[in-house]
Chains A and B, each alone.
Chain A
Amino acid sequence: MMIVYHCYGGTHSSPVAAAIHLGFLDPHRLPQPRQLVELPFYDRISPSGYGALRYMGQDAAKNQIYVMGVGYHRDLMRRLVPKVAGILGGNPDHLLLVDVYPHVNWYMKVGGFISRRLGLVAIGRPLVILGTRRAYPKLAEAVKEVWRNLARNTVSRLPEKVQVKRGLMD
């Protein structure tokens, strides 16, 4: 099974969720700022790299864990990735997309914007770390939900977490 945690940029909440999934971080203990900064991809992906699936590691059950940034194109990308994977020889049924963007708070959004879009890492990163620590229990809960669903083997029918306002064309 391929599990893809996705958020806006794939560089804050999804690497943290993936790290919890892979056991790099303890879901019951708040990580130190240094632990967060040392995570792969954490606050490191620039906007030109959004959309790519990045490999984080393999869990104990041999699931490959990826992170992805989908920007404001969440629904489009959730349709596109499984179908294109099917065309390229993958099995769309072995692909699970987990949206962690609903757990992102304003500290992370503002800090992420300052650090990633404006490039002011010294200002944005502390804000994003503060926000990540505040969002941590929810992210841990989201990962536990994935574990529970994997254990029940009902992953293909995971409920949608949020209703996103639909634009005219997407």
Chain B
Amino acid sequence: MKKIIYHCYGSSHSSVTAAAIHLGMLPRNRLPTSGELLSIPHFDRTTSREVGTPFFMGTDHWGNEVYILGRGRAKKFMKNAVKSLCRIHGFPEEDLLLVDALSILNTTTVVGGTLSRGLGLVSLGRPIAALGIRLSYFNFVRLVEKIERSVRKEKEEIDSPKENK
């Protein structure tokens, strides 16, 4: 089983959305309503003091653990630290998937997220952030489906030689 960490700037919008889609908390064939987005745990709720703390979001159909992580501007630091922690604790690096969910974020969410999370103007920023996520929602769905395909493909490759034996 793998551990999948969706990471973004503050673990409150893009990584939460991607992890929620992955875990089936959000639909894949239609746009979610703002209400559906806001009911997702951690959505637009992670405080700046929690940036850097990974949160467990759930276990998917195949038993992979899904986490979200805010890494601020320290993406390189985070990756280096996670890699060395894998080695130190003997965790196979290929069983840990770090997925950058920030790359598909649009400006609307950045503006909304900065207002809500950065400046504390929740009532103003939260609807803008939710709107921004809805505007590029299907990019998130595509990202998650790509990740799921790669996880399952690897799994099949590992499983099939055993069946042959």
Contact = CB atoms under 8 A, between A and B. Distances in A.
Interface of A: 2, 48-55, 66, 68-71, 73, 75-81, 83-85, 87-90, 166, 168-170
B10 to A, nearest CB: 6
B79 interface: yes
Given A51-B74, A52-B80, A81 B10 contact: no
Interface in B108-124: 117-119
A88 B89 contact: yes
Contacts of A54: 84
Interface range on chain B: under 10, 10 to 19, 20 to 34, or 35 or more? 20 to 34
Nearest to B91: A88
B81 A51 contact: yes
B54 A87 contact: yes
Contacts, number: 102
A88 B96 contact: yes
A84 B81 contact: yes
B52 A89 contact: no
Contact of A76 (B3, B52, B90, B117): B52
B137 interface: no
Nearest 4 pairs of A and B residues by beta carbon = A51-B77, A51-B80, A76-B52, A73-B74
B97 interface: no
B48 to A, nearest CB: 5
Most chain A beta carbons < 10 A, residue from B73, B78, B80:
B80
A66 B87 CA distance: 13
